[in-house]
Amino acid sequence: MKLRTNMTVNGRLYQKGDEIPWYIVYPFFLFHMLMFGGSGFFLAYAEDSPDIVFLYMHGGIAILVYTIFYLVIFGRDQVKWMFINAGLGLLGIYTQMGWLLSLFDRDISDYPIQVHVIPFLYFVLYTFLLHQAVLDITHSRESDIKRRRVEMSYLVILTGGYLMSYFLTK
């Protein structure tokens, strides 16, 4: 992946346009975001959930920081499309979160909409990162044909997962 601005990673300065190996960026962010996203999920949907202000501070600050990193690493256009696709995929996110909650004998409609904001945003950020990782691990960014194939496969798998989670909760 080509860096969109100057950035120091693990003590090494990368210049704008430098290639950063995928194994430097993705394992850290995938693990780190899974931990914060997981804690945000459990905080939001806990029996004795914390005050909504604490939930928004805990998750909101991390989401803001991740978004800034995404802008630096992936660029404005990619991040813009992340949010556009998130808006279009709201139903998919809703079914996935509903399925996850069903694993804990909970229903998504039991919670007010403001509780879903942080877990939904983590879901958007995490699936975006997975998509970028798949493109880089398969070396698909360099070839339009390969990138289209990988993106189509990604969409088919994701849509299949959404449909499966929808029917599993019904």
**Most confident of the ranges 5-14, 40-49, 160-169:** 40-49
pLDDT in tens, 91-126: 778 888 888 898 899 998 888 888 888 888 888 888
- Give the whole-angstrom CA distance, residue 70 versus residue 22: 14
Considering its fold, how many domains does the chain have in total? 1
- Could you tell me what percent of the chain has a pLDDT over 90? 18
Helix ranges (H only) for 45-143 are 52-74, 76-88, 90-102, 113-137
- Name the phi and psi angles at 4, rounded to 5: -90, -15
**Which residue range forms the structural domain that includes residue 114?**
2-169
Where residue 61 falls among pLDDT bands split at 50, 70, 90?
Answer: very high
In terms of pTM, does the model score above 0.85?
no
